[in-house]
Amino acid sequence: MRKYFVLIASIFIMLCLGGIYGFSIFIPSLKAEYGLSTAQTQIIFGFTVATFAISLVIAGRLLQRLSPRIVGCTGALLFGSGYLLASFSVGKLSLLVAGIGVLSGAGIGFGYACSLTIPVKWFPRFKGLITGLSVAGFGGGAIVLSWLVRSLLEKGLEVLFVFRVIAISYGIVVFFSALIMSLPSKVNVDDRNSYFPVIALIKERTLWFLFIVMFTGTFSGILVIGNLKPIGLSYGASEFYATLSISLLAVGNSLGRVIWGKIADKVGGSRSIPSALLFLSVSLILLSFFAGKNVFFSIITFLVGIGFGANFVLYATEISNIYGVDNLGGLYPFVHLSYGIAGVIGPTVAGWLFDLTNSYKISILSAAIVSACGAAIYMMLRRKVIRV
């Protein structure tokens, strides 16, 4: 039974930390109440994603030496303190970046590392499915956050006070869930992962290949996620549907992680990875043409979520298949750094282009092209690069 408690705890942690995908719910309030530009709000979001990716590398290394409880609880404290700092920022960009972008971003990385790698060790025969279930919670976090924030804002509460509510409530849930995390007894505490020196990582062309391909998918998805509500409003979608789209994309994101995880278990990365990238590309093309139609906008954002969610299960599963499940915690964070870079570039560029052109269409179409290029690169080079 212990393994099921660990899995459930990991999903709770992911649900809290994955609220970052609902960040666009804050954008109208931050712009209206504190005069931030669209690009400035995306700087906050971009820093969060980048810090998340960098801290995941650090946390992955720490998990090779420390208890997952220590790493997970540290993540809870960082996450909570970050939103608490943001709640006292008086709208200053530097403090919002330091709080949400740096501290909470680091907390997400520490919590994510535990929740991604520990459950797989309890269920080694179902790597794709368990990875998908774990990260599905992260994808679904935006559902909980967006509706919580919306209800609080509709009651007249200021956005900074909402940050304080998140700091306390989410921090407590993550902390106590982290206390449940543990390794199976058959895992040697002193040899949880085969250790890969940094120099060895740099020389691994397979990891660099996966790094590049993952960048194309995460760039395309995160560009939309960071600006989702403003995208809907700019195309003429109603306030209701623009907010609903955040939850629908999150549902798709969660389901996509489970669906693509099962697909990966059956057909492997050689088919599932390019298929997911092409699926995301087509969804983005549809979004660029139908974003202003309420029902279509909702349906298409759901499809974008399914395509985006694939990124966070397929590459982890591919690494487990190539290097073994014991190396997942040490190697996946390196590939995941591409998501951090994408998080800085994608949303910020989209926000900048909107401030410049008053339209998101160029950004969305560009994201579709990048994702399609990723599929082409993977299909052309996989046999030459990946050793199986």
Read off the tokens for 13: 């942690």
Q: List the structure tokens of 55.
A: 């801290």
Contact 210, 315 (CB under 8 A): yes
Query: What's residue 195's pLDDT?
Result: 52
Residue 84 has pLDDT above 60, yes or no: yes
Distance CA 176, CA 180 (A): 7
Query: pTM of the full predicted structure?
Result: 0.74
Indicate the residue type of 69: R
The answer, yes or no, to whether residue 116 has pLDDT greater than 50, is: yes
Which domains are present in the chain? 2-385 (1.20.1250.20)
Both structure tokens of 38: 């669209």
pLDDT at 193 over 70: no
How much of the chain exceeds pLDDT 90, in percent?
35
Does residue 76 carry a pLDDT above 90? yes
Question: What pLDDT shows up at residue 198?
Answer: 56
Which residues, in sequence order, are CB contacts of 259 under 8 Å at separation 6+? 132, 306
Average pLDDT for 58-75: 89
Report the C-alpha gap between 73 and 330 in whole angstroms.
19
Residue 302 has pLDDT above 70, yes or no: yes
User: What is the rounded distance in angstroms from the CA atom of residue 342 to the CA atom of residue 346?
Assistant: 5
pLDDT at residue 188 above 60?
no
Contact 222, 336 (CB under 8 A): no
Q: Helix (H, G, I), strand (E, B), or coil: what is residue 7?
A: helix
187 confidence band (pLDDT: 50, 70, 90): low
pLDDT band at 192 (very low <50, low <70, confident <90, very high): very low
Pick from 59, 58, 60, 52: nearest CA to 105: 52
Express each pLDDT in 11-27 by its tens digit. Answer: 999 999 988 888 888 98
pLDDT the model gives residue 291: 64
Q: 197, exposed or middle or buried, with CB in 10 Å at 0-12, 13-18, 19+?
A: exposed
Q: What is the predicted pLDDT for the residue at 125?
A: 75
Residue 364: name the closest of 355, 354, 377, 373 by CA: 354
> Is the confidence at residue 202, as pLDDT, over 50?
yes
The answer to whether 150 and 111 are in contact (CB under 8 A) is no
Q: What is the mean pLDDT of the segment spanning 254-268?
A: 83
